[in-house]
Chain A
Amino acid sequence: MTQAKQPIIQIRNVSKRFGKVTAVDNISLDILAGEFFVLLGPSGCGKTTLLRMIAGFEMPTEGQIIIDGQDMSLVPPNKRPVNMVFQSYAVFPHMNVTDNVGYGLRISGVSKGEIRDRVAEALELVKLGGFEDRMPDQMSGGQRQRVALARSLVMRPKVLLLDEPLSALDAKLRAQMQFELSDLQDKVGITFVTVTHDQDEALSMASRVAVINKGEVAQLAPPADLYEYPANRFVADFVGSVNIFEGKLTLDEPDKAAVDCPGLGKIYLNHGVTGPHGADVWVALRPEKIYLHVPGEGKAVRAAAQDAPDGHNLARGTIKGMSYLGDITLYEIQLEGGQMIRVSRPNLSRHDQEDFTWDDKVSMHWRADSPVVLLS
């Protein structure tokens, strides 16, 4: 992927209020040319409002949106160098596929021959060759979405905006479209800005993700950083599944730190946190980063004979719940201190799940660099 590093969209202190409700609260961020940018957040967090402001369907109450160096404040949607794929796809029901895709070119006065060529090219791009004369009501949801994609791409926009592009598709098709969208973006080299509430979508497609919460950017990072180094509890919890323990920061040196969690004991880390001593902090630990085994004997699945290798944290508990998900099994374990902790474990063989069952006493350990200490 070619990554020109200059921003194509600059969002400068943008706020949007609907009456007393603040949908977008002073957001500033740059979207770089050629990147696959994802706005991720729960419903009602303001991500769609932000996208609609970029498209020009909402006016910012405050702030400025600059696209390709040009202030968009007074530019109506039909004059902006961006195109949008709507959540409902908004395919024109009374036009066939060719007329749908060619609509934008037709009203901007492009010659008939060029329209024909570009429509054919766009349909080829979204793999809809042969559907030229279909009416939208004769097509599936996935096919209609491809029409909407082609209709936008044919305009050769600088930025393509996608509003929840995959939310209406079934799981299999969604996974396939994730790949296709990434592939498509590679091929056409247009900047994609996608809104989604689905973390899988964000993690798999994005080059960078902005997690939005209550109208503000909670974190802006590449997908892997978002998952491994969440900046706060919201991001840790929203992206992926996580165990969060509240505690006090009792030790904080450049190469080690410890958090005293009531009921759980001290959690050690092999790196410093640079937080205020004795402050309330939260420790986030992903379920898949915890090793699980039967305490103190050779039936251990991964660990050696002793309960935990050197430098690992250790905890004990009782299995209270299990859900078998096929590829992994999710365990709900009650710690000796009473809290619940979630541990996931890949089913490497067909018989893995038989190793543990309800009410088994188990011990858990995790590497000292696995937990993340969150200050907010």
Chain B
Amino acid sequence: MFNRTPIAPLEYTRKLWMRSWVGLTMLFLYAPLILLMIFSFNDSKRNVVWKGFTLKYYEKALNNDSLVEALVNSLTIAALATIVSLVIGALAAVALWRFRFPFKGLVEGTMSLPIIVPEICLGVAFLIFFAKVDWPTDLPWPLNLSAITIAHITFCFPFVAMVVRARLASFNKEEEEAAKDLGATEWQAFRDVLLPHIRPALVAGALLAFTLSLDDFVITFFTSGPDTITFPVKVYSMVRFSVTPEVNAASTILILLTVILTFIALKLQGVKGIAETH
């Protein structure tokens, strides 16, 4: 405002229309989330009018055993699905990058199918599949989560494979050859040269897989049983009665959780590393 130098033609960041556009975009993206968070502190049974500040809905949410159980279930599934997806996805990506084999295109295409196929179809497919193979449902925790976890791995690992594949494209094969030339075995070359190169992609892929799994509703809805409620499914069932600030509080906790996790991952890796994968 008190800038005396005139705005040069390419200084877009100082132009009013650019600034307002960015502001509007931010507002459009984040206003609902911010409202949700604000109303989690609302001292009212309904989510419409502001009645005053309170933390009692957080207390209520954290004392709601079935909600906490659902959250624990969700986190467990997400963790398991992420680990398995990372391994399968990374290996698939390396295999597709390294080798030439018959029907490679077909394998590549079918692998990314779970990304393309509408979730609802996948959900129904899993429902039918687990019923047909008579997948046991009365297993003790956490084995009772196996069906959901398997379903989640199915749609998570292609994302990991995709990100890792993109990262591999920038790998200089001569580096791996150099390692072998210096005496490294296949495994040592992988561990010392290829793995450090794809590490940012693994972090990015893990983040993707974890968040995808954590907030999946459709597929989970079709594969969960009465004892295996996940957080999104639980929230849905709560909303069916009424949207109380308790739901807001629970959602806010979940948002915070994912933001913190993402932040830690980015800190560990460096934002630059993640950005390089794309």
Given A94-B196, A103-B179, A103-B192, answer yes or no on A88-B174 (Cβ-Cβ < 8 Å). Answer: yes
B134 to chain A, nearest CB (A): 48
Bound complex: CA of A76 vs CA of B188, how far in Å? 14
CB under 8 Å from chain B, chain A span 61-112: 76-79, 82-84, 86-88, 90-94, 103-104, 107-108
Give chain B residues whose Cβ lies under 8 Å from the Cβ of A77: 177, 180-181
Whether a CB of chain B sits under 8 angstroms from the CB of A197 is no
Q: Do B196 and A86 touch (CB < 8 A)?
A: no
Number of A positions contacting B (CB below 8 A) = 25
Whether a CB of chain B sits under 8 angstroms from the CB of A358 is no
Whether a CB of chain B sits under 8 angstroms from the CB of A151 is yes
Give chain A residues whose Cβ lies under 8 Å from the Cβ of B182: 78, 83, 103-104, 107, 151-152, 155
Give chain B residues whose Cβ lies under 8 Å from the Cβ of A108: 183
CB under 8 Å from chain A, chain B span 139-174: 172, 174
Give chain A residues whose Cβ lies under 8 Å from the Cβ of B183: 78-79, 104, 107-108, 155
Whether a CB of chain A sits under 8 angstroms from the CB of B193 is yes
A92 in complex: contacting residue of B175, B181, B185, B188, CB < 8 Å: B175
Q: Do B181 and A83 touch (CB < 8 A)?
A: yes
A126 to chain B, nearest CB (A): 16
Give chain B residues whose Cβ lies under 8 Å from the Cβ of A82: 181
B190 to chain A, nearest CB (A): 12
CB under 8 Å from chain A, chain B span 192-209: 192-193, 196-197
Give chain A residues whose Cβ lies under 8 Å from the Cβ of B174: 86-88, 90
Whether a CB of chain B sits under 8 angstroms from the CB of A57 is yes
Considering only CB atoms, which chain A residue lies closest to B172 in the complex?
A: A88
Q: Do A78 and B181 touch (CB < 8 A)?
A: yes
Whether a CB of chain B sits under 8 angstroms from the CB of A55 is yes
Give chain B residues whose Cβ lies under 8 Å from the Cβ of A79: 183
Bound complex: CA of A76 vs CA of B180, how far in Å? 9
Bound complex: CA of A228 vs CA of B177, how far in Å? 39
Bound complex: CA of A90 vs CA of B188, how far in Å? 16
B71 to chain A, nearest CB (A): 37
Whether a CB of chain A sits under 8 angstroms from the CB of B96 is no
Bound complex: CA of A155 vs CA of B181, how far in Å? 10
A32 to chain B, nearest CB (A): 22
Whether a CB of chain A sits under 8 angstroms from the CB of B184 is yes
Whether a CB of chain A sits under 8 angstroms from the CB of B34 is no
Considering only CB atoms, which chain A residue lies closest to B191 in the complex?
A: A107
Bound complex: CA of A155 vs CA of B178, how far in Å? 12
Bound complex: CA of A171 vs CA of B193, how far in Å? 32
Given A88-B172, A90-B172, A90-B175, answer yes or no on A78-B192 (Cβ-Cβ < 8 Å). Answer: no
Bound complex: CA of A94 vs CA of B200, how far in Å? 12
Interface hub of A55, A84, A107 (most chain B Cβ within 10 A) = A107
Give chain B residues whose Cβ lies under 8 Å from the Cβ of A151: 178, 182
Bound complex: CA of A152 vs CA of B177, how far in Å? 13
Interface hub of B181, B192, B196 (most chain A Cβ within 10 A) = B181
Given A90-B174, A92-B175, answer yes or no on A84-B184 (Cβ-Cβ < 8 Å). Answer: no
Give chain B residues whose Cβ lies under 8 Å from the Cβ of A152: 181-182
Bound complex: CA of A79 vs CA of B183, how far in Å? 6
CB-CB contacts of A137-172 with B at 8 A, as 1s and 0s?
000000000001001100100000000000000000
Q: Do A86 and B178 touch (CB < 8 A)?
A: yes
Give chain A residues whose Cβ lies under 8 Å from the Cβ of B181: 55, 77-78, 82-84, 152
Bound complex: CA of A46 vs CA of B177, how far in Å? 19
Bound complex: CA of A76 vs CA of B183, how far in Å? 9
Bound complex: CA of A60 vs CA of B183, how far in Å? 21
Contacts A84-B181, A92-B192 aside, 14 further interface pairs with beta carbons under 8 A come to A76-B180, A77-B180, A78-B181, A78-B182, A78-B183, A86-B177, A90-B174, A92-B178, A92-B179, A92-B193, A93-B197, A103-B179, A103-B184, A107-B188
* 30 A-B pairs whose Cβ atoms sit less than 8 Å apart in the complex: A55-B181, A77-B177, A77-B180, A77-B181, A78-B181, A78-B182, A83-B181, A84-B181, A87-B174, A90-B172, A90-B178, A92-B175, A92-B178, A92-B179, A92-B196, A93-B175, A93-B197, A94-B196, A103-B179, A103-B182, A103-B184, A103-B192, A104-B183, A107-B183, A107-B188, A107-B192, A108-B183, A151-B178, A155-B182, A155-B183
* B contact set with A: CB distance below 8 Å: 172, 174-175, 177-185, 188, 192-193, 196-197
